[in-house]
Amino acid sequence: MVLPAASAPTASIRDRLKRVRDNGLLVVQAGCAAGAAWFVAHDLVGHTRPFFAPIAAVIPLGAALGHRIRRVVELTIGVAVGVLVGDVLIYLIGTGPLQLATVVALAVALALFVRGSAVLIIQSASSAVLVATVQPPTTGLAYPRFVDALIGGGVGLLVTALLLPPNPMTVAQRAAQPLLDALADGFEAIAAALDTRDQGVAEEALERLRGTNAALATYTDALVASKEAVKLSPVWWRFRHRLARYAESAPDLDRVTRNARVLARRTVTLLRDHEPVPTELLAAVEALGTATRELGYALERDEEPVATRKLVRCAVRHASQAHEATLGFSGQMTIGQIRFVATDLLRATGMDRADAEKAVRAAAAPQKG
C-alpha cells in the first residue's frame, strides 16, 4: 500500500497551512506595520528612502507576548542607537573590517552604558552592521535614518500593542485548558490507582503532575500577555472583567498543582504500605478531577463556577466519610491533603480564603440525621 506514504506530504502541507491560519494576526500586523511606517516616514515626514522605518516597525513583532511593550521599546532604541552609531562612525572613518568591528563594538558599549538588556544590545549591533555593510552613508550623515528607526518603532508599538493585539481571552483560554486538563487527569489517575490498588499507576500520576510546570508557566505568561492587551488596547477593554476571573485563579491553581503532587506522593506511600482504601476515598479524588474540569468550562463560558463548588464540597464529604473507616497514617494524611486541594480549588473559583475554609469545614462536619 502506498497511501500512507503518499498522505505524509499532504499532512505536512495541512499542518503548514494551519500554522499560517493560526498566525494570521501576525501576518496582518507585519503588513500593516511595514506599510504604515513607510507611509509616515515617506509621505508625511518626507524622507525619500525611509529604509529603516519598515524594518524597525516589523522587528518588534517577534517580541514575546506579555513583554511586548517593553520589548518594542528596547528594540526601537536598539535599532535607533545602532543606526546612529553606524552612520556617524562610518562617515568619519570609512568602511572596512576594522571600521565594522569598531562600529559594532561602540554600539554594544553604548547599549551596555545605558544598562540595556540583551535584546537592546543585540539589536544595536545588528543595526550597526546593517548600516555599515548594506547602506553606508556616502553623501553626509544620514540623520533621517535615525528618525526613520524611531518612526518605525513607534508604528510597530501602535500596531502590535494598541490596534491589533491578540485576543486576550483566546490567549488565556488556550493556556488555561492544558493546565486544568493535566490536573484533572492527575486526579483521575490517582483515583484509578486507589481503585485498583496499583502503586505503579499512582507513581505515573505523580510523574504526570510533576510535568505540569511547563503548563503552569505558559498559563502565567499568557495571563501577563492578556492583561497587557486589555490594559492598552481599546478593542479588548470589554474583556477586563472576564480576564480577571482567570487572573485571580492563577495563584490558587499553582497551589492546587503543588498540593496535587503531595496527594499523589501520599497515595504512592499508602499503596506501598498496603493500607486500607475505602471506596469513599477514591470517590473524593474523582470528584476533585471532575471539579477541575468544570472550573475550565466555567472560565471559558464566563459563568459562576457553581458546579465546581458543589463537586468540591462533595469531595470533602466523601473524604470525611472515608475518615471514619479504618485508615493508616498515609490514609489520614491523604484525607488532609484532599481538604487542602479543596480549599485551593474553591479559592480558584473566586472565594476568599476565609469563605473557602469555612465551606470545607462545613462539608467535612458530620451530617446530621
Domains of the chain: 24-163 (no CATH), 168-364 (1.20.58.220)
pLDDT at 262 over 90: yes
pLDDT at 165 over 70: no
pLDDT at 4: 44
Q: Of 127, 134, 119, nearest to 63 (Cα)?
A: 119
pLDDT at 369: 47
pLDDT at 343: 96
- DSSP secondary structure, 28-70, as one string: HHHHHHHHHHHIIIIIIS--S--THHHHHHHGGGGSPTTSHHH
Span 264-273, mean pLDDT? 94
pLDDT at 50 over 90: no
Cβ-contact 72, 156 below 8 angstroms: yes
Cα 347 from Cα 354, distance rounded (Å): 9
pLDDT digits (tens, 9 = 90+) for 2-42: 344 444 445 578 777 877 777 777 788 788 888 988 898 88
pLDDT confidence tier of residue 53, bands split at 50, 70 and 90 = confident
Q: 136-140, 208-212, 259-263: which has the minimum mean pLDDT?
A: 136-140
Cβ atoms within 10 Å of 56's Cβ, excluding its own: 33
Q: When comparing pLDDT for 289 and 62, which is higher?
A: 289
pLDDT digits (tens, 9 = 90+) for 133-148: 666 555 555 556 778 8
pLDDT at 2: 36
Q: When comparing pLDDT for 132 and 267, which is higher?
A: 267
Cβ-contact 265, 193 below 8 angstroms: no
Question: What is the grid cell recorded at 340?
Answer: 487542602
pLDDT at 366: 74
pLDDT at 73: 73
pLDDT confidence tier of residue 95, bands split at 50, 70 and 90 = confident
pLDDT at 285 over 90: yes
**Total residue length of the chain:** 369
Q: When comparing pLDDT for 369 and 237, which is higher?
A: 237
pLDDT digits (tens, 9 = 90+) for 311-322: 999 999 999 998
pLDDT at 284: 95
- The distance between the two most distant Cα atoms of the chain, rounded to a whole number of Å, is 96
Span 52-73, mean pLDDT? 67
Q: Indicate yes or no: pTM above 0.75.
A: no
pLDDT at 336: 92
pLDDT at 359 over 50: yes
pLDDT at 58: 80
pLDDT at 326: 66
Instruction: Provide the mean pLDDT of the chain.
Output: 82
pLDDT at 129: 75
Q: Of 30, 44, 55, 69, nearest to 145 (Cα)?
A: 55
Residue holding cell 518588534?
60
Q: When comparing pLDDT for 222 and 312, which is higher?
A: 312
